[in-house]
A = this chain, B = another copy of it.
């Protein structure tokens, strides 16, 4: 919990209404779940969590709702070094990038103004109009390094999965 989710539900409803769409029970449940528990998650993980809670929501609805959430700007789709998407919610707070530990699979977020500025400068030089960016740095985090975990080779990152779900 730790966070009042109603604000996001409201924002989503506003977005939907602007499109002549409706905030249904399923959509509300998904938004609540996303904003109260998860931070980074996979679509199937979300599906699984809902099933666990005995809230029956179909795969199709989960994907459809995620798409709407991405369009509304409440959720962002990110690559985290694996070969499928991850999602993260955006609680009004600013953009960030990811350090991904290839030993434990953990994700550290960071934001750096200098980095953002530099990217803008690069785009300007190339006459490129950026809308979005995505930076992942793969490596080994401090605690894994202490434990002497040897880094997996980058191309094996995708194999390091803490959670395997899908019923």
Please report A residues at the B interface, Cβ cutoff 8 Å: 67, 70-71, 77, 79, 81, 83-85, 99, 101-102, 108, 110, 112, 114-115, 118-119, 122-123, 126-142, 145, 151, 153-155
Number of copies: 2
Chain B nearest CB from A65 CB (Å) reads: 13
* A141 engages B115 (CB within 8 Å): no
A70–B112 CA distance with the chains assembled, in angstroms: 31
* B134 engages A135 (CB within 8 Å): yes
Instruction: Pull 7 A–B residue pairs with CB atoms less than 8 Å apart, ordered by A.
Output: A99-B122, A110-B126, A115-B122, A128-B137, A128-B142, A132-B139, A133-B137
What chain B residues lie within 8 Å of A85 (beta carbons)?
Answer: 83
A129–B103 CA distance with the chains assembled, in angstroms: 11
